[in-house]
Every structure is written in structure tokens, then in C-alpha cells.
Amino acid sequence: MTSYKQEVERKTQQERAAEVQRRNDQVWRQIVDTFPLKDCTANRRMVEDYCSGVITLDKFQFLQQNPPKGYQLAWGEEWQSLLQEILGMLYDPYGRRMTDFDLKQQAIKMSFWTRAQLRARRDELALKQVLNKKTATELREDLRKAREVKRPYPGFPTLLPTTVPRYAVPEMGWNTIHAIPTGDYMRWLAKHDIFLFKRYAAVYSMNQLTYWLNN
């Protein structure tokens, strides 16, 4: 029988994994929008593996400049292929949803778009295609899961990756009050200001603080 402690640990691990996935998605989008790197599963997996599961821009740039054996990323300008993929998704052989003239106008309009804009449109159309195949019950369940990911600690506000301390801490190099990594700040509070640490735990939950203490 699962104990309360085991259940808390399981949920904490799930929350950590969801947060890492969310961050990886954000950094990956930044990478493929900035560099002429193909937005494909093989590239994503290779970068995640090289970054030991946590993608950062610095790690990617180091991989780009110093690719070890076995890490050959697929490069290439995707603009034209993205445009053709979108037009293929918009095409309606019956001309009810979009006529040939409408499709040509869309192609002209998108000819001025950036890769980032084309990717966003491609992803939007792909999502619509998936949603159109789902029942109302499945859509409600997807919405529930999405809300859990966006707010991994139900009932508590979510701490950002950086936090502005209440006061300067010269011995830590924080000579002025400015944004610092949340993990560093929580670890310092746990050792030097337990009263304020407990206040954070009450506001943000101990599970969330435990995550930042370990990251």
C-alpha cells in the first residue's frame, strides 16, 4: 500500500518532470527560431541527450561549436518546406474551406513571414487537426491536464526561475537587490533566514520549495 510520503514524493517527481519539460520546450523553441536548425524529433532528442535532459542555450551553443562524435545535427533552411507544409494543410480538394484563389493569397501573405511565424502557423493548424478528431470528453480531459502543467502546484502561485530578494546579501555577492536564481535564494534562506523561508513555504507550498532547493 502506497504511503502518504511515497505519494508526495511521486507527485513531487511528476511536478519536477513537468517543469523540466516546460523549460525544455521554451528553450528548444528559442533555438529553432534563432538558428537554421531543423525542428525535428531527431535533433530534439540529440540536444536533450547532450544536455543531460535539461536544455540550455549555452549548452546548445557549445554543442554547435564542439560537436562530439555521434552528435551530428541536421541543419538546413526550412523556410520553403515550412511554407509548403502549411499550404498542404490548408488545401481543400473540394474548395469549400479554401478555394485555389484563397490558397494563392495565403501563399503571398506568408511569403513575408519569418521562420518563427511559419512554425507557429504550422503548429496551430496541426493542433486544430488533432482537436477536430477528439470528442468533447477528450477535449475536457486535455484542458484539465494542460491546466495542471501550467500550474504545477494547484492552490499555490508558481515561483519564477528568478526571484528578487527582500534585502541585499553582500556575503553571497548580492550587493544590490536584483533578480537572482530562485534555487540559490531558497537554499540561502533555508540556512540563514528560516523565518522568511517558512513564510515562502506557506505562500508557495513546501513541495514547490523542495523542488527549488534541489534545482
Number of H helices, E strands in the chain: 10, 2
Q: For residue range 178-189, list pLDDT tens digits in order.
A: 677 888 888 888
Q: Is the pLDDT of residue 155 over 90?
A: no
- Residue of 5, 18, 2, 6 whose CA lies nearest to 153: 18
What pLDDT does 150 receive? 55
Burial of 13 (0-12, 13-18, 19+ CB in 10 A): exposed
Delimit the domains of the chain by residue range.
23-76, 79-133, 162-213
What pLDDT does 48 receive? 93
Phi and psi at residue 85, in whole multiples of 5°?
Answer: -65, -45
As a whole number of angstroms, the longest Cα–Cα distance in the chain is 71
C-alpha cell at 43: 535533433
What pLDDT does 82 receive? 87
* Percentage with pLDDT > 70 across the chain: 86
Give how far the C-alpha of residue 101 lies from the chain's centroid of Cα atoms, to the nearest Å.
37
Q: For residue range 119-148, list pLDDT tens digits in order.
A: 888 888 888 887 778 787 876 776 666 665
CA dihedral angle for residue 199, residue 205, residue 206, residue 211, rounded to 10 degrees: -120
- Find the mean pLDDT for residues 10-33: 85
